[in-house]
Amino acid sequence: MSETLPATGLLAASWLLIALPLAGAAVLLLGGRRTDRWGHLLGTGTVVAAFVLGLACTVQLAGVDGRSVDVDLFTFIQTGSLDVGAGLLFDPLSAVFVLLITGVGALIHVYSIGYMAHDPARRRFFAYLDLFVAAMLLLVLGNSYVALYVGWEGVGLASYLLIAFWYTRPAAATAAKKAFVMNRVGDVGLALAVFVMFAQLGTTSYAGVLGNVGLLAGGTVTALGLLLLLGACGKSGQFPLQAWLPDAMEGPTPVSALIHAATMVTAGVYLIARSAPIFDASPSARTVVLVVGAITLMIGAIAGCAQDDIKKVLAYSTVSQIGYMFLAVGLGPVGYVAGLAHLLTHGFFKAGLFLGAGSVMHGMGDQTDMRRYGGLAGKMKTTFVTFGLGYLALIGFPLLSGYWTKDAIIEAAFDRGGVSGWLLGGVAVLGAGLTAFYMTRLMLLTFFGRPRWDDGVHPHESPGVMTVPMVVLAVGSVAAGFLLVEVFPLADWLAPVFGEPAEAAAHAIPPLLVSVLVSLVVLLGAVVAWLFVGRREVPVTAPARVSPVVRAARHAIYADAVNESLLMRPGMWLTRALVFVDNRGVDGVVNGTAAALGGSSSRLGRAQTGFVRSYALGMLGGAVLVAGALVAVTAG
C-alpha cells in the first residue's frame, strides 16, 4: 500500500459525504408529518449534494501524491492496548464506490419520487433510503475494519427496514426476517475476523492490519480470510447464504435497484478487494473465494432460468453476476480490477433493469408475473428501449458494458491455467450462456408476443421523473464498459491500491478467441430461449408437469429446504427442548406436568408455570453440578 497523507482542502471535508444523507434521514424521521410535503426533495437533495461533493473530492484526489488521504475524525476507543480511531480513508478504491453509491443513489432517489408518489409513507421511505446511503458511505470510507463493521450493520438495518417497508404484506415481513437472520450469520464471521485482528495485531486500521499481514502465522491468515469471506457471503448473497436475496425483492423496486443490485450486495466484493493483502497471503482462502464465486454464479444462473416473477429473475441474475465478481477477486491480482470493473458496469445496467422492471410493474398494476405480461414493447417505448439496452449490456453484447467487463473476467479465469483454469473458464462461459437464456426469456415474455394482461390493466408509460433516470442508466449501460476499460482505464486509477497492472503476458487463449467463443455461446443461449419461449404460445399459469431439472431450478436448487433441515429445524428443537426443561421438565419429575398446569391456571388467569419447589430443585441440581465439576477438576 502506498503512503497515506493527511487530508487537505476539500478532502478534509469528505466526512460531509456521510453527514449529508444522515442529516437528511434525521430530519425526515424526527420531523414527522410536517416534512411530508417536501421530505422527498430534501432526501434526494442531500444525496445529489453528496454526489457532487464526491465528484469534487475524486478530482482533487487525482492530484494528490499516492492518491490516498486519511481524514482523522475523533478517537472512538482508546484505552490501554485498545486503540480504535474513527477516521476516513479516501483512496481510489473508496472513491470509485463513493461515486457509484451517490451517483446511482441520486438517480434512484429521483426515480422514487415518481414511483412512491402515491404511497402515504413516502417520507419514511426516503428517510430509510438516506439512512442507507449514509451507512453505505461509511462502510466504504471508514479507515478501519471497525468503521467498516459499523457501516456494515447500518446497511443491514436499512436493508431490513426497506425490505419490510410494506410490512402489511406477510411475505415482506418474512423476507425481511430471513434477510436479517442470514446476514447475522455472515456478520458473526466479520465480527470474529475483527476480533482476531485485535488479538493478533492490536489494531483494526487498514494500515495496521494490511501492512502487517506478514507478521501473522499462515493458519491465522487463512482463518482471517475465511471469516471475512463468511461476512462477504452473507452481505452479498453468495453460496451458502444466497437464499435471502431473491426474497428481498418484496421491498419496493427502487430499493431492489439500489440496495439489492447496485450497491449493498456488492459490499462483499469491496471487503475482499480491500483485504487483498490478506487473500494474497493465503492461497487456500483465495481458492475458497473462487469456488464460492463459481458455485454461486451457476446456482444463480440456473435458478434464474425458471422464475416467472420478473424481479426474481433479476435477483437471481444479481446473485449470479456477483458470483462473477467473487470469481474475479478470487483469481488474485489479475482479477481485482476486472471484478471491480464488472461491479461498476453491473451497478449501471442492473439498476437500470430494476428501474425498468419497476416501470413495467407501475404500468401493469403491480403485477410481477411475466406470464401475465407480453407485447409491451409498443405500449412502453422508453421503458422497452432502456430495458433492452440494459439487457444487451448484461448478456455481454459486443461493445456494450457487460462485454468489456465480463469478458475480462472470463479471460482471467482461463489465464489461471491448468485444469482449474479450464474448469473455471468453462463455468464462466456456461454462465454467460445461461444468462443470455434467462434474460432473453424475460425480454420475450415481457415485451413481445401476444398480450396476456389481466382484465382491467391498461399499460402506460411512466412519468418523466421515472424515465429520465432510466435513460441515464441506459447510457451508462452502453458506455461505461468502454469508458472504464479503454478511455479512463480503471486499472490505472486503482494502481495505488492494487499495484501497477501487469503487462498482458501470455494468454492461455487469445483474447479475441475468448470474445468470439463467449459471443457464440451467448447467441446460442438467446436462440434456445427463442426456441423455447418466443416461438410458442405462453401459458398464463406455469405448467405443473415439468422435468426434474426445471423443478429444481424453480426451487433455486432447493436452497431453502437445505437451510431449513440443516439450520432451522435443529434450532427449533433446541428451543423447544430448553423451553420444556425450563418450564415443565424439572417440575414434571416431581409432580407431573398436569398438576403444574392446573395449579397455575387459577392464579389471576395468567400462566405462571413455575412452582418454587421446582425452581429450588433446579438450583439444587445446578449446585450439585457445580460442586461436582469443581471436585472433578481438582481431582483430575
User: Footprint of other proteins on this chain (CB under 8 A)?
Assistant: 32, 74-82, 149-150, 153-154, 157, 160, 164, 167-168, 173, 176-177, 180-181, 184-185, 187-188, 191-192, 195-196, 198-199, 574-575, 578-579, 582, 603-604, 606, 608, 610, 612, 614-616, 618-619, 621-623, 625-627, 629-631, 633-635
Pairing between β-strand 82-90 and β-strand 5-6 as defined by DSSP bridges: unpaired
Find cell 470474445 and name the residue.
515
Least CB distance from residue 497 to other proteins, whole Å? 26
Least CB distance from residue 285 to other proteins, whole Å? 18
Nearer to other proteins, 49 or 173 (CB): 173
Least CB distance from residue 235 to other proteins, whole Å? 15
Distances (CA, A) of 493 to 60, 67, 478, 489, 496: 13, 9, 21, 7, 7
Least CB distance from residue 630 to other proteins, whole Å? 4
Nearer to other proteins, 220 or 296 (CB): 220
* Neighbouring-strand partners of residue 144: 205
Nearer to other proteins, 149 or 437 (CB): 149
Distance CA 202, CA 377 (A): 60
Amino acid at 250: E
Least CB distance from residue 362 to other proteins, whole Å? 24
Amino acid at 324: Y
Secondary structure string (H, E, C) spanning 297-319:
HHHHHHHHCCCCEHHHHHHHHHH
Least CB distance from residue 77 to other proteins, whole Å? 6
Q: Residues 186, 241: contact at Cβ < 8 Å?
A: yes
Nearer to other proteins, 549 or 574 (CB): 574
* Residue partners of 235: CB distance under 8 A and separation at least 6: 152, 155, 156, 183, 186, 264, 265, 267, 268, 271
Q: Residues 126, 64: contact at Cβ < 8 Å?
A: no
Least CB distance from residue 321 to other proteins, whole Å? 28
Nearer to other proteins, 177 or 554 (CB): 177
Q: Which of 337, 334, 238, 231 is nearest to 280 (CA)?
A: 334
Nearer to other proteins, 505 or 612 (CB): 612
Nearer to other proteins, 126 or 349 (CB): 126
Residue 73 — φ and ψ, nearest 5°? Answer: -100, -70
Q: Residues 90, 149: contact at Cβ < 8 Å?
A: no
Least CB distance from residue 31 to other proteins, whole Å? 11
